[in-house]
Amino acid sequence: MADQDEPGTTFKDDMDELARRMTAIARRTYESRDGHSERYDFGEILTRLVTTTAANLGSVDALLAGRPGSWEADFVRQIVASSVPEDQLHLYRTEPVRLILDPESVFEDLGLRALFDDADNQLSDGYDDGTGPEDDGANDDAIDQKRETLEAKYRADVDAYFTAYAEMLTVIASERAFTVPVELERVTNYRHEPDWDTLAQSLHDETRARTPAPGDINA
């Protein structure tokens, strides 16, 4: 979700604090091998800070979204591009990557929820209407059992898909050599995350594409 100012602080407060901290960093020294006091390479430090911020936001474009066409933005792009290839930007990230998934929404997208509803409706159509001379409830009990079995199978498939997605997410995070945690939260009611950064979205897209289709999971 989008970051907001800390309670009791303003944008100016944050900028003043950033300037104070960066000035303190620029003043830091270390002892060289010959015993002299030396300043740290602030150009390298600033480059790393800018690159890390872009990585935490998910992309350089996200970092520069406020005014992407300015000369300052072009300069920042050059800084980041000189530091790391775009496909390795995530290696500079210091914040966890957070994904959410509602597996039922995937089933909805794939038309599997509609198939379940159709099957359940067909079973429901078989209930006795209570007017037959030999209506002892046995038929309805049998239908109830079939519907419960159908529901249990559907729920098991949904759970299996979430597990398969989570496992594939772990595989892809390892392949990309993520150095920060990749977190996955299961949600319901078709909740989605409108503020996913570019990195999180690309990670989700690849994981979704490589996760076996629900019908193939238990094959």
DSSP labels, the chain: ----PPTT--HHHHHHHHHHHHHHHHH-EEE-TTS-EEE--HHHHHHHHHHHHHHHHTSHHHHTTTSTTSHHHHHHHHHHHHHS-GGGGGGG--SPEEEEE-HHHHHHHTTHHHHHHHHHHHHHTTS--S-STT--SHHHHHHHHHHHHHHHHHHHHHHHHHHHHHHHHHHHHHHTT-SS-EEEEE--TT---TT--HHHHHHHHHHHHHSPPHHHHT-
Q: Are residues 113 and 74 in the same domain?
A: no
Tell me the pairing of strands 37-39 and 97-101: unpaired
Q: Are residues 82 and 129 in the same domain?
A: no
Domain limit, last residue, from 38, 73, 92 = 92
Q: Are residues 66 and 108 in the same domain?
A: no
Cα 42 to Cα 61: distance, rounded to the nearest angstrom: 24
Report the predicted TM-score, pTM, of the whole model to 2 decimal places. Answer: 0.79
Residue at 204 is within a domain? yes
Residue at 85 is within a domain? yes
pLDDT tens column, 37-75:
999 999 999 999 999 999 999 999 999 999 999 999 999
List the beta bridge partners of residue 98.
183
pLDDT tens column, 130-182:
655 566 677 888 888 888 888 899 899 999 999 999 999 999 999 999 999 99
Q: Are residues 106 and 65 in the same domain?
A: no
Cα 55 to Cα 72: distance, rounded to the nearest angstrom: 18
Q: Are residues 54 and 101 in the same domain?
A: no
Q: What is the pLDDT of residue 32?
A: 92
Domain limit, last residue, from 92, 124, 148 = 92
8, pLDDT greater than 60:
yes
Domain limit, last residue, from 92, 113, 137 = 92
Cα 183 to Cα 162: distance, rounded to the nearest angstrom: 13
List the beta bridge partners of residue 48.
none
Q: Which domain holds residue 50?
A: 11-92
* Structure-token match 């300037």, residue found: 19
For residue 92 the two structure tokens come to 């500079």
The count of structural domains within the chain is 2
Q: Are residues 50 and 136 in the same domain?
A: no
Q: What is the pLDDT of residue 1?
A: 46
Q: What is the pLDDT of residue 2?
A: 47
Residue at 4 is within a domain? no
Q: Are residues 85 and 137 in the same domain?
A: no
129, pLDDT greater than 90:
no
Q: Are residues 110 and 184 in the same domain?
A: yes
Q: What is the pLDDT of residue 144?
A: 85
Q: What is the pLDDT of residue 158?
A: 92
- Least confident range of 1-15, 27-41, 85-99, 101-115: 1-15
Q: What is the pLDDT of residue 179?
A: 92
Q: What is the pLDDT of residue 219?
A: 41
